[in-house]
Amino acid sequence: MTPQTGHLVRPLLSLSKSDLSRFAKDQQIKHIEDESNGDCRYFRNQIRHKVIPNLVEVSSQYGGESKLLRRVTELTSEIHQLRKENTVQASEWILQRVTRTPFWVSFSREEWLLLSSQVRKQVALQLWALVAHETLETKELSLLGNVIERQKAASLSGRVSVRVSCGLVYLLTPENQQAIEKVRTSRSLLDFYCRRGSKLKLKALLKRSQAEVRLLQPGDRFRTKKMKRLCLELAIPAPERALLPVVAKPGSKDLLWHFPIQDAFGDCLKLPWKKK
């Protein structure tokens, strides 16, 4: 055995204690037995007295320590490759299945539940890095899964609000909430909701009906049963209801027009977060 300069390094699985003792004696290296060597409260002794004996015992089933270590290396490589594949699959899923707008990030609850648990974890981590520039702790990953499965609501890392409505999962950041509030308090709703080139036509329609465009509010009443039925059939998710344009006379709760109705107003108005 070749003497080392400086510190003596012991490869635990290839050198025996007798070899080291003989080497120390030949080189006239003074050493003493540490009284704490038998105390398994120390991590080093956990390795010495429990982990290594177990490895020696298990390695006999694989033909020795070298074959066991080779198998461990193979498994580690397989795990690394699987994680890499899960990361790629999560990135592709986000690109294809997730809708991102100035007001929220949304995706299908059913499609989420079809993913494996490991891909779900990667999707969640990547989404939080994307929308909140933060990461999720293990407990929060578990909470997110429960919220989506049980269709509840919660606030997670980065003050991201999670809501499930009508089969969709919504993630709303503080910036999203500010964008929603900005629209709700804006005086230029026509600029926001009016289709390009339809402003003059819409103004004429509003003047003819003596009405205005505003947002859906609590207590609004549907003017006809047909309008109510169409709205119920459309099953508009809760986060979107807060930004639905409606047409009503000033000060009136009776709606002359609601977004699901397709008529002259529908030809002029749009939902900016919907795909064209």
CA distances from 138 to 84, 105, 121, 122, 156 (A): 19, 22, 9, 12, 12
Q: Say if strands 254-258 and 221-222 run parallel, antiparallel, or are unpaired.
A: parallel
DSSP string, 72-140: HHHHHHHHHHHHHHHHHHHHHHHHHH-EE-SS-EEEEHHHHHTS-HHHHHHHHHHHHHHHTS----HHH
Question: Average pLDDT of 245-266?
Answer: 91
Which CATH architecture fits 86-178?
2-Layer Sandwich (3.30)
How far is 224 from 257, CA to CA, in rounded Å? Answer: 10
pLDDT surpasses 60 at 143: yes
pTM for the full predicted model: 0.71
CATH 3.30.465.60 in the chain, residue ranges: 86-178
Lowest mean pLDDT among 43-47, 80-84, 191-195, 231-235: 231-235
Residue 108 has which token pair?
Answer: 């299908």
Q: What is the pLDDT at residue 67? A: 80
pLDDT surpasses 50 at 52: yes
CA distances from 166 to 8, 54, 231, 236, 242 (A): 66, 53, 13, 7, 15
State the angle between helix axes of 117-131 and 138-150 in degrees (0 to 180), rounded to the nearest 10: 100
Structure confidence by residue, pLDDT tens digits, 25-42: 888 877 677 777 778 788
How far is 232 from 263, CA to CA, in rounded Å? Answer: 18
Residue 228 has which token pair?
Answer: 């109510």
Structure confidence by residue, pLDDT tens digits, 210-245: 999 999 888 899 888 888 787 777 788 889 988 999
pLDDT surpasses 60 at 186: yes
Structure confidence by residue, pLDDT tens digits, 59-102: 777 777 778 778 888 888 998 999 999 999 999 999 999 999 99
Q: What is the pLDDT at residue 61? A: 79
- Residue 28 CB neighbour total at 10 angstroms: 6
Question: Average pLDDT of 95-122?
Answer: 95
Residue 85: how many CA atoms within 13 Å on its side-chain side? 7
